[in-house]
Structure 1
């Protein structure tokens, strides 16, 4: 049984490496591309439900272009789905990533100018030069204070997650403009150079089973939900109860989730 979220095949086309394993009209190697929009929904089907989101500069492999849609697989986690074709461009040779919760791109190195677009933490950019307090990119000028070298990983997923405090909850969201529980965990871990899949059921295999009191950076799972432990008493998570990224007491969260009929903690993992 294949997982359609991780299997680059839609019946018409499939990745070449799947030949002999499943049926398709044709098998292709795919072409490299990059996300050219600030934020793009990755859908289960054209005009379908949102599974996840991809950020500016993230790499994908395109297996099919049809009717304004592209059937793609994301490089960061292998997630498969459909993007609007207009959201794609050539691969981005990123030199920097957005390390602040969010930032703006300006037409000139001047914060008083009207911004061109907003970018989320995790967006990837090719910096071509600097001008005072700004970095120059093909899209415009971005505050240098909001960027970090693409190859430089952070060392504390919890501190990354805390930058999203107050971000509204959004099912399938992966950005500072809306995020869900697994999106928050993925953003935090990827910023620290830790590979992380996109959905909670996949993330439950991360690390090893932990015993005893939770430690900072541990993951606590419920059915369909995940949170990052801040310390022995608190956690940070994107949750539909508060409709935002919040800090909550571990005991309070366990009791509240159980009272909502959503069951007990199903796993405690340590990275």
Structure 2
């Protein structure tokens, strides 16, 4: 049975009562396979990631039509930005739009979201790096997938899924499945992926990358040469792969 997330963000756990490994944001789909106490066991529809989610944070809803396409937004109890009933929404949240009222779209749940903050699901972003750059300054959070906290592979996944490309949730499978491997010494281009042991970054330009990392505890830009040196010197090893997603 397919259910959808009804809270602004929810943790996906490897099994009930354990630590977070990924997150889903409002409106994302989860394929429930079984129940275990307070938890639903199943897979995230976006990538097949298996785990457990609190059943209280899942509900039945119709397929979404739009996503939040700015870093963060709110849904309101009426078409009025002064309405105190404001609920936070992260980039990537999915909603079904049923009507328009002034500068707001109304959702199937009777909530109102500013029109400029929504983008049709069938109109993906053209550039994954542009999406990643929207998260600049977002706090680093292990297993995070929202504007309130994100990790390296979560940032890459959000960037590619929002650009209409399949992408797994962890850096290991991302290294295995995304792009083509370039030989050492290849030049760096916007959108290239760089992989270290347990870490991934996106190239912004030939001299700069962007990544969610524990050194800055945030999504940060870093000179590419500095990052290569720093990551190896701090004991995380040399660059393992330089890949290009055509």
Normalised to the residue count of structure 1, the TM-score between the two structures is: 0.87
1:240 aligned onto 2:207: no
Higher alpha-carbon Rg: 1
Could you list the runs of 5+ residues in structure 1 that have no partner in the other structure? 1-30
Contact in 2 for aligned 1:59/1:92 (Cα 8 Å): no
Higher relative contact order (CA 8 A, sep 6+): 2
Could you list the runs of 5+ residues in structure 2 that have no partner in the other structure? none
Distance in 2 separating the partners of 1:184 and 1:91: 26
Q: Which residue of 1 aligns with 2:14?
A: 44
Distance in 2 separating the partners of 1:161 and 1:38: 20
Q: Deviation at 1:139? A: 4.8
Distance in 1 separating the partners of 2:195 and 2:103: 42
Distance in 2 separating the partners of 1:236 and 1:129: 37
Contact in 2 for aligned 1:32/1:91 (Cα 8 Å): no
Distance in 2 separating the partners of 1:92 and 1:41: 22
Residue 209 of structure 1, aligned match among 165, 175, 181? 181
Alignment of 1:18-57 (within 5 A): 31-57=1-27
User: Larger deviation: 91-100 or 173-182?
Assistant: 91-100
Distance in 2 separating the partners of 1:63 and 1:229: 38
Residue 58 of structure 1, aligned match among 28, 49, 60? 28
The aligned length equals 241
Distance in 2 separating the partners of 1:139 and 1:226: 39
Q: Which residue of 1 aligns with 2:94?
A: 124
Normalised to the residue count of structure 2, the TM-score between the two structures is: 0.96
Contact in 2 for aligned 1:57/1:92 (Cα 8 Å): no
Q: Which residue of 2 aligns with 1:178?
A: 149
Residue 157 of structure 1, aligned match among 100, 104, 128? 128
Deviations 1:6-45 (A, max 9, x none): xxxxxxxxxxxxxxxxxxxxxxxxx121112221100012
1:193 aligned onto 2:193: no
